[in-house]
Chains A and B, each alone.
Chain A
Amino acid sequence: MGPNLWANFGEAVSMILFCIGFANLLLHKNLIKKIIGLNIMDSSIYLFLALKGYIAGHTVPIVVDGVQSVDAYINPIPSGLVLTGIVVSVSVTALMLSLTIRLYRRYQTLDLDEISKRLKKEGL
């Protein structure tokens, strides 16, 4: 275990959240809970990325009073990347939820294994 575990406290929390989301995905049978697990995993990665830009003592990267030195503002790049990532996460969640609605309407169950069993019985 390296030297920076306590200093990188936020990143450690995001890794634990990632694994909680992954366990959620594996252990629940309900499809909506699996989608929530995927969401938790994505959010933990954005937390990890957003912490990259933080510099203690510096402020938001919006130019006030014409101050434009590197010592006054945090790193703006991770914030921009997280913006892109959040939109991607919303889009895939919407897609997965609409797939779930279609499956539920047809089979009246949210259990993916149950649906596979019924499909095998139906044959095709």
Chain B
Amino acid sequence: MDFICNFPFFSIMISMFSGIVSAVLSRKAAKWLNLISIWVIWFLSAVLLYYIFGTGEIIVYKMGHFPAPWGNEIRAGLLEAGLALFFCSIMLLSMTGGRKKLMGEVVEEKHNLYYILVDLMLASLLALIYTNDLFTAYVFVEINTISACGLIMIRQNGRTIEAAVRYMIMSLLGSGLLLMGICMLYDITGHLLMSNIRDAVSSIYSAGTYPVPLTVTIILLTCGLAMKSALFPFHTWVADAYGYSTVSSAAILSSLVSKGYIILLIKIIYRVIGFEVYRASHIIDVVFVFGLAGMIMGSISAIRENDIRRMIAYSSVAQIGYIYMGIGLGTRYAMIASIFHILSHAATKSMLFIGAIGLTDVSKGSRHFEELTGSGYRHKIAGITFAVGSLSMVGIPLFSGFISKLLFAQAAVLNTRKMLPALIVLAISTILNAIYFMKTVIRIYTPTEEEGERITMKQEKVYALTCICFIALNIFIGMCSQPIVDWIGAGIDMFA
């Protein structure tokens, strides 16, 4: 087998290695090691994606001398390699954009500990994407939880620590349910490897043995992962956690962490339980209803907010509702729409957070809307970034949000039973999104007489470069969407 097939394994090991070594390094060395390892993984994933496009085959890599199911195994297809590439780019842009704020908000000696958390977060995301074994997925979900908690509370004021406590309680509840689902699944099938479990589950389903435990297992797995990714009734921790932590943490948390769990859920639906069995149990309808509720309630909570970062956090809840609605529609096309929305939302949400921090910098550090009036003129690049992000969230053509809403609407039309509620709620939530995002954009571009401080592009070159890259990424996803949709479709066919 070619040397390139080792690349998924190298990606995971490089990030874990830099996480281990950074404990003894100084602040600067840890920062450079972090940056270099993310760039290296970016290149490895790009080469791997190109290679898999060329051969069209899945790479199956056994970890150790024993084949699966006796040993561990990781699997890389089109979708996995592309997702790894995308997550690396978002993490790079978030870290560069928030680096200056990091210097001010975190104590000097603890900087290298922050880079360890980011490295291990990247390692756990890669392992969740590539793994083919259910218990390995659980262990890396725990690493993800603990490093996300660390990212929230690195800033250490009262708000962040209370937010971290609430996040941990909700997340540990979700992990407990997930582990119980895995144990029950192991009991009725006897395997821990995802492909073997699917064969066993389809034989159980057709033979009709163990119907009740199978349903309960599906409920437990879905509930556990929904709790961890902030679906509607379990979303109370989001506002505090995203709103008060340091800005690169907020960008990474909102765009990558919840998406990692949703990707694991999609993997479980396709590779562990099988799409047909999942659709036949009516859990998918419940997921659909909660997705719709999340879309509306998230937007309503965002309208009532007076603080810009909490408003963006509540809009995250609404967008995750979109993704779960897509999963709940239950067709292949809807799943493609959901995965496209994962990419689009990850790119847009981090862009909004990075833009908002620029706006608060020129408004004497305050985040309330009264002081933010007119800040778009004082810090031009941050204003443009925030405006582009808002337009994309609302769904204006040219940006990526429009394509994802279009795909959702097309997928809803194809499914006759759920078409009407899906389309109506889609329309209502677009209007609600427009209310709070357009209100903010108008406010930051209202001229005021007060002279606040001004920041120009020359003063913050790195920040300006990050913003331009984000805008370029958003427009790229929005304009060249057809190749991306084809890639996702081919990836899903390889996924199963």
Contact = CB atoms under 8 A, between A and B. Distances in A.
Interface residues of A, number: 35
Contact of A119 (B142, B158, B168, B192): B158
A48 B181 CA distance: 11
A81 B135 contact: yes
Interface in B166-223: 166, 168-169, 172-173, 176, 179-180, 183, 186-187, 192, 212
A31 B162 CA distance: 11
B158 A122 contact: yes
A77 B180 CA distance: 16
Nearest to A2: B212
A99 B57 CA distance: 47
A98 to B, nearest CB: 10
B244 A88 contact: no
B159 interface: yes
B153 A18 contact: no
Contact of B244 (A34, A78, A99, A124): A124
Interface stretch (A38-46, A57-65, A66-74): A38-46
A99 B153 contact: yes
B311 to A, nearest CB: 15
B113 to A, nearest CB: 14
Given A92-B142, A124-B244, A49 B162 contact: no
Given A2-B212, A84-B139, A92-B168, A41 B176 contact: yes
Given A45-B180, A48-B180, A92-B142, A99 B165 contact: yes
A103 interface: yes
A34 B145 CA distance: 18
Contact of A99 (B145, B164, B176): B164
A49 B183 contact: yes
B157 interface: yes
Chain A binding surface, main DSSP class? helix
Interface string A84-116: 110010011001100110110011000010011
Contacts of A102: 156, 161
Contacts of A106: 158, 161
Contact of B165 (A45, A77, A78, A96): A96
B33 interface: no
Which interface residue of B145, B153, B161, B164 has the most chain A CB atoms within 10 A?
B161
Chain B binding surface, main DSSP class? helix
Interface string B137-148: 001001001100
B162 A115 contact: yes
Given A45-B176, A106-B158, A119-B158, A96 B135 contact: no
Contact of B168 (A77, A81, A85, A96): A96
A48 B188 CA distance: 13
B318 interface: no
A103 B165 contact: yes
Contacts, number: 79
A55 B111 CA distance: 51
Contact of A95 (B135, B149, B187, B244): B149
A52 interface: yes
B172 A92 contact: yes
A34 B212 CA distance: 31
A22 B170 CA distance: 12
Contact of A52 (B157, B159, B164, B187): B187
Contacts of A18: 176, 180
A48 B135 CA distance: 15
B159 A99 contact: no
A122 B244 CA distance: 14
Given A2-B212, A119-B162, A99 B168 contact: yes
A92 B146 contact: yes
B161 A99 contact: yes
A88 B183 contact: no
Which interface residue of B146, B149, B159, B179 has the most chain A CB atoms within 10 A?
B179
A59 B162 CA distance: 48
Contact of B183 (A38, A48, A92, A115): A48
A42 B157 contact: no
A31 B159 CA distance: 16
Contacts of B159: 119, 124
A105 to B, nearest CB: 10
Interface string A1-42: 010000000000000001000100100000100100010011
Nearest to A96: B168
Contacts of B158: 103, 106-107, 115, 119, 122, 124
A88 to B, nearest CB: 5
Given A25-B169, A34-B169, A41-B176, A112 B186 contact: no
Contacts of B165: 31, 96, 99-100, 103, 112
Nearest to A8: B187
A82 B488 CA distance: 37
Contacts of B162: 103, 112, 115-116, 119
A103 B187 contact: no
A85 B176 CA distance: 11
A123 B463 CA distance: 29
Given A102-B161, A112-B162, A116-B162, A85 B169 contact: no
A115 B161 CA distance: 11
Contacts of B145: 92
A102 B159 CA distance: 12
A52 B139 contact: no
- The list of the 6 closest CB pairs from A to B, nearest first, reads A49-B183, A88-B142, A41-B176, A99-B165, A45-B179, A45-B180
10 contacts: A41-B173, A41-B176, A78-B186, A92-B145, A95-B146, A96-B165, A99-B168, A107-B158, A119-B162, A124-B157
